[in-house]
Structure 1
Amino acid sequence: MTTLPPTATPATLREPAISRVLFADPRLAPLWLILRLYVGYEWLSAGWGKITNPAGVWVGEKAGVAVSGFLNGAVAKSGGDHPDVAGWYAWFVENVALPNATVFSYMVAYGELLVGIALILGLFTGIAAFFGGFLNANFLLAGTVSSNPLLFILATWLVLGWRVAGWWGLDRWILPRFGVMEHPDTVLADPVRPRQGDPVR
Structure 2
Amino acid sequence: MTILPTAPAPATLREPAISRLLFADPRLAPLWLLLRLYVGHEWLSAGWGKVTNPAGVWVGEKAGAAVTGFLNGVLVKTGGDHPDVAGWYGWFVENLALPNAVAFSYLVAYGELLVGVALILGLFTGIAAFFGGFLNANFLLAGTVSSNPLLFILATWLVLGWRVAGWWGLDRWTLPRFGVMEHPDTVRADPARRPAEPVR
1:20-68 deviation digits (Å, cap 9, x = unpaired): 0000000000000000000000000000000111110000000000001
Q: Please name the residue that 2:41 is paired with.
A: 41
Instruction: Return the letter of the residue paired with 2:103.
Output: V
Between the two proteins, the alignment pairs up a number of residues equal to 195
Contact residue 173 and residue 183 of structure 2 kept, 8 A:
no
**Alignment RMSD (CA, Å):** 1.9
- Distance verdict in 2 for CA 1:5–1:42, change over 3 Å: same
1:184, CA displacement in angstroms?
A: 2.1
- Distance verdict in 2 for CA 1:186–1:31, change over 3 Å: farther
Instruction: Return the letter of the residue paired with 1:138.
Output: N
Contact residue 112 and residue 132 of structure 1 kept, 8 A:
yes
Q: Please name the residue that 2:167 is paired with.
A: 167
Alpha-carbon distance between aligned partners in 1 of 2:29 and 2:198, rounded to the nearest angstrom: 27
Show the 5 A alignment for 1:1-201.
4-185=4-185, 197=196, 200=199
Instruction: Return the letter of the residue paired with 1:182.
Output: E
Instruction: Return the letter of the residue paired with 1:11.
Output: A
Q: Which runs of 5+ in 2 are unaligned?
A: 189-193
1:183, CA displacement in angstroms?
A: 3.2
Q: Please name the residue that 2:191 is paired with.
A: none
Greater relative contact order, per chain length (Cα 8 Å cut-off, separation 6+): 1
Contact residue 26 and residue 187 of structure 1 kept, 8 A:
no
1:185, CA displacement in angstroms?
A: 2.8
Which aligned runs of 4 or more in structure 1 are off by greater than 6 angstroms?
A: none
SS at match of 1:185: helix
SS at match of 1:127: helix
Contact residue 172 and residue 183 of structure 2 kept, 8 A:
no
